[in-house]
Each structure stands twice: as C-alpha cells, then as structure tokens.
Amino acid sequence: MWTCRGLMGCLAALLLAASAAANPPDLSKVDRTIKKEPTYVAKPLYGLYVFGPEARTRVWAIFDKSKPDVHGYDVLYFDRNANGDLTESHERIAGANGTFAIGSFTDPATGDTHKDLIINRRIGDTAMVMFEMKWRGKVDVRGGYAEDPGPYTQFTEKPADAPVLWPGAEGPFSFQRWTGGKLSIGAADDMRVFLGHQGHGKSTFCGLPQDFLPANAPVLATVIYTDKDGKEQRARSELTERC
C-alpha cells in the first residue's frame, strides 16, 4: 500500500511511471458457464476467479454445507483444473473455522503454478470472502478489497451475479483507493492506494505487497479538482510512503 499526504480535491487518476500502457481485459464479459455442478446440500454461493495476463483461465469457487443444519458454510468446491466440472472428487474441500486450504493450482493456459491458495469466509452480520496465494510461488497476492469502508467480497446465490476476481502479478496493473472518501480541500489528508488488479463487481480488488515495485519506481498521483473560481486544476504528487 502506498500513502501520500497533503493532497487536495478528489482523486481522478493514478499514473504509474515505468509501466507500459496496456488495456486490461473486460471482466464484465467473462463467460459464466458452469459445465457440471455437484448436488448441493444447501443453497450454494458462487464466486469466480480468473488467472493469467489476459484473464483467460476461469475457476469457479462455490460454497456449500456438509449438512443442512450446519452453521455457516463448511464445504468449498474449487475447480482445480479449470475445466468447468466441479463434480470431481479432488475439488471438494472441507473448511475449518471458515478457512479453506486449496494448496497449489496450475494454470492450464500458462503453465504457471501458484501456491498456498487459501479462501477465508468470515461470518458476521454480512459474511465476506478473502482470497490469498503466492503467485508463481513467490509473490503474495490477496483480494478482494473494498474501496469504501464495509464488507469485502461477497459470493452470490446466482452464477450470473458472482463477483469476478483477478489475482496475479502480471501487468497491466491498476490502483484502488483504500478506505475511500473524499479528500478535504486545504487539509493534509492521507491518500492510500493498492496496486494490483481490479475485478468485476463490488469489492473485487486483488492487491500486491508494498515491496512488489522496485524502491526507485516512482508512483505518481494526479489530482483533478475545481478551485474556488470553478476552474479545473491539476496537482501531481509522488506517493512516497509504503506501509
């Protein structure tokens, strides 16, 4: 996470120097077909993860219960081989206190093996889901973060509404505000941002660690705001603190 102090107005754009310009894939157009589903014990909850630099590999994650009267969801179906068939025996994972340890996943499109995959489902007034892994066994990736204070990723009852998350450490990257809110004009507010991939749906950002970028790689924030005379102004500052 990067922090900059003393900015004015409302954030409109963030620019990363030293990164090549490229267009990210349109995750709103990801195919949501599921070829084969198991017989569920409870009402399933759906989430979709995509992998690779072009987000071509689709992996469904679906919560279920081991028994109808179990409190919370204690079973996860995870499409380990990304073939759309979740009835295979090795894709049913039992959870422990809301934690589902998936282990390693090899992307069939790129051949990359990602390790230590874990999905955590926190139970509360509004249940939320967090994902983590080591990209190619090296870089910690976590998601889905919310821009505004509130619940993180929530799985849905219908595949058509499922959040789409894109965990990875390949570009093109984007930024997301952390804790949201407007910056105060004339005040020394903190602006904190994540670097990573924006998913599709509410609270679907997957972030990278603060030391992912080289220490000498500048991270610049351009703030676009309206002054007291109604004229558009721009101010650029470097985000220098990492936390």
Residue pLDDT, tens place only, 129-149: 999 999 999 999 999 998 876
pLDDT tier at 21, thresholds 50, 70, 90: very low
Q: Hey, what are 181's tokens?
A: 């809110």
45-104 pLDDT, tens digit each: 999 999 999 999 999 999 999 999 998 899 999 999 999 999 998 999 999 999 999 999
Count CA within 13 A, CB hemisphere, residue 91: 20
Q: What is the pLDDT of residue 181?
A: 67
pTM of the entire predicted model:
0.85
What are the residue boundaries of the structural domains of the chain, listed by start?
Answer: 2-242
pLDDT of residue 185: 67
Query: Of 22-36, 74-88, 177-191, where does mean pLDDT reach its minimum?
Result: 177-191
Residue 184 reports pLDDT greater than 50: yes
Q: What percent of the chain has pLDDT over 70?
A: 84
DSSP secondary structure code for residue 79 in this structure: -
Q: Where are the beta strands (DSSP E) in the chain?
A: 2-7, 10-16, 45-51, 57-64, 75-78, 92-94, 99-106, 113-122, 128-135, 139-145, 164-165, 174-177, 189-197, 205-207, 219-226, 232-238, 241-242
